[in-house]
Amino acid sequence: MRPDDAVIDDYLDAATRHGATAEVRLRVDDREELVVHSGLVDSTSTVRTGTVTVRLWRDGRTALAVAPRTADARSVVADALANSYEAPPQRIAAASGTNGDGRSASRSLAGLHAEAAALTSAGDVLTELWINQVSRSVVVASTEGARGGYRTSSGSLLYRATRDAAGRRTHVDREDIGPDAAFLLERLPALVAGRCDAVLRAPVTTAALPPVVVLDGAVAARLVFLFARSLCADSVAQGRSRLADSLGTQVLSPSLTLVDDPLAENAPLHAPFDDEGTPTSRRVLVDRGVPTGFLGSRDHARPVPGNAWQEGPSVPPRPLPGNLWIEPGVEAAVPDGAFLRVVQAYGMHLSNDITGDFSMGVTALVEQGGEVWSAVGLTVAGNVFAMLAEAQPLATELTWSGGGSSYCASPDLLVRGLTVGV
């Protein structure tokens, strides 16, 4: 296989021959997958994929092309320019000096079979575990001389548990995302399997549900994504952001601080520059309930660029979270008295990223004084802006949601103002 730099050079040379300015991004993923059923390794696989994304500018027109790493650069560039469209000129990737900066998975997934099998061998519970680990290399270069690259890793885990008891079958699943598979397996007993087991073994309650609601971090993280749309500079420019005129104004709970950092330790993403080649940095976007800035890109550079990520290989980068999270509490806590803990959500497609309204089906537990009951067949609805205006972090651990190059996380949150239905 040809070296990455040679592939990049082929595209830059082809663009220059056509009199075009270009930036080229090459991403190569080595993906390992492992499936375990009740303590037995069921299947493993390793796949390498490489994708080139090239953007071209010539005579007031631009083009975007996506091709496999093995494609002929001259043909890709020629076809793209033949289908270009009118667009204003843009600044080109500035990534440089980052070669060798990166993160690698601490252990190969092949070396984790025994640990994964041991963690899924519960006696009266049918357990299934899917683990995915990606080792990725990224190179970005332009015809203007900029070039940079880095290596990174990420891992994802889906744990599903099923139990038959008293004539009732119950199943629950939970995802976790992090820097690699070894990190996730260390967290699995307490943060994943333990919470699933609590749902499976809890008797079903028939009592009235308590008004106090705690969102598990995994559920809250998905709602942070809904809120994050209003933190994106393109949403502000398009009139789609509820926070457009809220900089410097108290709009969220004073207990909430939101940070975006594409280089945060133990976060899923590790990227010294974004998908446009702009260097990344840690940014506090909401400081104790007060919005202080937006996620920017080259097209939306105010206050600063450096947060442009591709939602898919065939679309240009746009402002999105890199690693965006709600700062956790300084110590774990639980509410006084009975409360409803929402541990799993589904149907989040019933949401509106402009108004912030959402509705979802949930799996929940009723907890009081160490006792736990299961609450089934519930729905939860509310507004994410109103919810975060009164939310309070309870846990010290973050749980991540997302994928690709965009992730959000949250600790467990004590929330108010939600409508719980049966």
How far apart CA 293 and CA 287 sit, in angstroms, is 10
Q: Which of 89-103, 180-194, 340-354 has the highest mean pLDDT?
A: 180-194
- Alpha helices, H only, 34-174: 73-82, 113-118
How far is residue 7 from each of residues 276, 300, 335, measured CA to CA in Å? 18, 30, 57
Question: For 237-267, how does the pLDDT look when each residue is reduced to its tens digit (9 = 90+)?
Answer: 999 999 999 999 999 999 999 999 999 999 9
pLDDT for 349? 64
The DSSP letter of residue 395 is -
**Distance, CA of 420 to CA of 192 (rounded, Å):** 24
pLDDT given for residue 101 in this prediction: 63
Q: Is residue 2 very low, low, confident or very high in pLDDT (cuts 50, 70, 90)? A: confident
d(CA 57, CA 69): 21
3-state SS string over 87-142? CCCCCCCCCECCCCEECCCCCCHHHHHHHHHHCCCCCCCEEEEEEEEEEEEEEEEE
Report the alpha-carbon distance of residue 72 to residue 234 in Å, rounded.
Answer: 34
Residue-wise pLDDT tens digits, 169-214? 788 889 999 999 999 999 999 889 988 888 888 998 888 899 999 9
4-201 sits in which CATH class? alpha beta
Task: Tell how strand 21-37 and strand 126-142 pair up.
Answer: antiparallel
φ/ψ (deg, to 5) at 335: -65, 155
**Residue 350: pLDDT over 80:** no
Read off the amino acid at residue 358.
Answer: F
Calpha distance 16→10 (Å, rounded): 10
State which H helix or E strand residue 199 sits in.
Answer: helix 194-201
Beta bridge partners of 381: 359, 419
Q: What is the pLDDT of residue 91?
A: 66
What gap in Å lies between CA 198 and CA 185, rounded to an integer?
Answer: 19
pLDDT value of residue 315: 82
Distance of CA 148 to the CA centre of its chain: 24
CA atoms within 13 A on the CB side of 196: 25
Distance CA(251)–CA(323), nearest Å, equals 22
The residues spanned by each domain of the chain are: 4-201, 213-421
Rounded Cα gap, residues 401 and 405, in angstroms: 11
Can you read off the two tokens belonging to residue 48? 């390498």
The label of the residue with tokens 């040379």 reads: 13
Q: Which residues contact 260 (CB under 8 A, 6 or more apart)?
A: 282, 283, 285, 295, 307, 321, 322, 323, 324, 325
Query: What are the tens digits of pLDDT across the range 20-48?
Result: 999 999 999 999 999 999 999 988 999 99
Pairing type for strands 323-326 and 406-410 reads: parallel
